[in-house]
Chains A and B, each alone.
Chain A
């Protein structure tokens, strides 16, 4: 099973601040996918195939990485970006999710 480790677990950012969330895989994966989950809501696909933004995702978001190290970056934090972000690998079964990074607004 591929274990995904996200860091940090929680963080707070000020409006306008650049934010980087990290996801490390225990074995190499071909792509990483990211989901945003706001409080009380279902997860939403946010970034897929490492760097492609899902429909409606603002272009201040970006994704990058390869092998065992991936990241999600917010170029300029906005209030609406406060949420929990999960990474997910779909390269091998069982499919696995990271434990999430809770991003709060300062």
Chain B
């Protein structure tokens, strides 16, 4: 299957700092990527849809100024958590569709665990 890679896998930061998470499609081009957040023992929650070359579409309740998304190329989308606070600690996951695979099949990154102290 197609490969989506995230970096870093885990990060610990101090409250008030910003953290950038990268999501790359390694063997295909992704015009659209999705960013999710998952708290312990809970399901995935869609945060935003990242569109290459245009602004991201955020889900209701997600602060766009806090969670900055940039999709500058067809293989890279970044999520920056600005002025992180302990309540932002979570597992962040990105996904993308690959044109060469089953229509509708989403490929997910390994996830990035953020811990804000």
> Do they bind each other?
no
